[in-house]
Amino acid sequence: MTRFYDLASLAKPLVTAPLALAFLDLDADRRWALGFHDRGTPLTVRQLLSHSSGLPPWRPFTGEPVAQQLRREVAVHPLLRPAAPGLATYSDLNYRLLAELLEAETGVPFEKLGAASGLSPAPWSPSPTEVPDGPDATAWPLATDSPLPARSPWLPHDANARAGMRGHAGFGATPAQLHAALTRWLASGWPRRMAVETTPGENGATWGLGLQVVHGGSGHFGQLLSRVQPGIGVHVLEDPTEGMPPSAPSIQNEPGPGSGWWFHLGYTGPALFYRPADGACLGLLIHRRGPDGALLDAESLRARRWAALARFVGQSGG
């Protein structure tokens, strides 16, 4: 059976970031256009792409402007916290604003612009493996009185994306479809522009313009990927199982040096790894539902990703 996967935040590097690089001035001040009239510093596309805008991780998508939402106090929740001062803070809001800018600049709906990626925008005809609601659904009522969007087998699992939030999620693919999309993505040259101009982030992260550095060191994916031989091309690794592999190695406190790879992760399980030196690209398709049907926590999800990558590294001679 051909499986279909909700790619979640892989829409950021595969759809939104390339469109932003293609159509938007990276350094123009956009704070007025986006309603941030009380912001004392510029707000640029470069900041939005690299998560260095200073925006908090999340707010519910209700159709209300981001700037207006941020003027209201919210309850305590990890997704609703302020950004870390002076560090890139991963935020869905950055890509929500990029989608708004793209629509304003081009006059074309974001979903139509995104169709050029070759991925499938929601609502989908096939339904991906369903995973339970996560922290976004928990945080939703803490930040708005608007009702949580209803679930559907044909809509993304992310609560914001179900509500129509563009830019950060809402696309899906079969393994073959993702392979074709990655091949086009590499041929376009956009990932090379995304894997540069780094910005230091929270927890030792380093961000480019839409991708994050894969650091080396124990427990980091770079520990595995550094063994991948040159010239492997594009591979999509599918692991639809629900059984749990052994735990991944413990992560050392300080990330090691860069491994030469860049990456992005999706909330529902998929992952993307890219090596600029030779254009190697790995798309990882897994889902986040555990054997008992519950949503896997971050460490269990890392174990599943680790096991899938370890199998590939072993099979490829690494």
Per-residue pLDDT tens digits for 80-131: 999 999 999 999 999 999 999 999 999 999 999 999 999 999 999 999 999 9
Taking alpha carbons only, the member of 134, 159, 132, 156 closest to residue 144 is 159
The confidence score (pLDDT) of residue 110 equals 95
The confidence score (pLDDT) of residue 257 equals 84
Distance (Å, whole) CA 99 – CA 34: 11
Taking alpha carbons only, the member of 306, 318, 156 closest to residue 232 is 318
> Which tokens in the block code for residue 22?
């293609």
Confidence of residue 268 (pLDDT cuts 50, 70, 90): very high
Q: Quote the Cα angle for 21-26-30, to 5°.
A: 120
The confidence score (pLDDT) of residue 73 equals 94
- What mean pLDDT is reported for the chain? 95
Confidence of residue 318 (pLDDT cuts 50, 70, 90): low
Looking at residue 109, the DSSP 8-state letter turns out to be -
Percent of all residues in the chain with a pLDDT value above 90, rounded to a whole number: 91
Distance (Å, whole) CA 57 – CA 79: 5
Confidence of residue 253 (pLDDT cuts 50, 70, 90): confident
> Which tokens in the block code for residue 86?
């002076």
Phi, psi at residue 273, to the nearest 5°?
-130, 135
Mean pLDDT for 8-12 is 98
Confidence of residue 303 (pLDDT cuts 50, 70, 90): very high
The confidence score (pLDDT) of residue 254 equals 78
Core vs surface per residue 49-66: b (16+ CB within 10 A) or e: bbbbbbbbbbbbbbeeeb
The confidence score (pLDDT) of residue 255 equals 81
| Alpha helix segments (H runs only) across 77-204 | 92-106, 110-114, 135-143, 159-162, 175-188, 190-194
Is 59:77 a contact under the CB 8 Å cutoff?
A: no
Cα 112 to Cα 16, 106, 107, 143, 167: the distances in Å are 12, 11, 11, 30, 12
Is 88:205 a contact under the CB 8 Å cutoff?
A: yes
Among 136-145, 182-191, 247-256, where is mean pLDDT lowest?
A: 247-256
Q: Please say if the pLDDT value at position 262 is more than 80.
A: yes
Radius of gyration of the chain (CA): 19
Q: Please say if the pLDDT value at position 197 is more than 90.
A: no
Residue type at 60?
Answer: P
> Which tokens in the block code for residue 113?
């612009």
Q: Please say if the pLDDT value at position 315 is more than 90.
A: no
Tell me the whole-structure pTM to 2 decimals.
0.96
The confidence score (pLDDT) of residue 179 equals 98
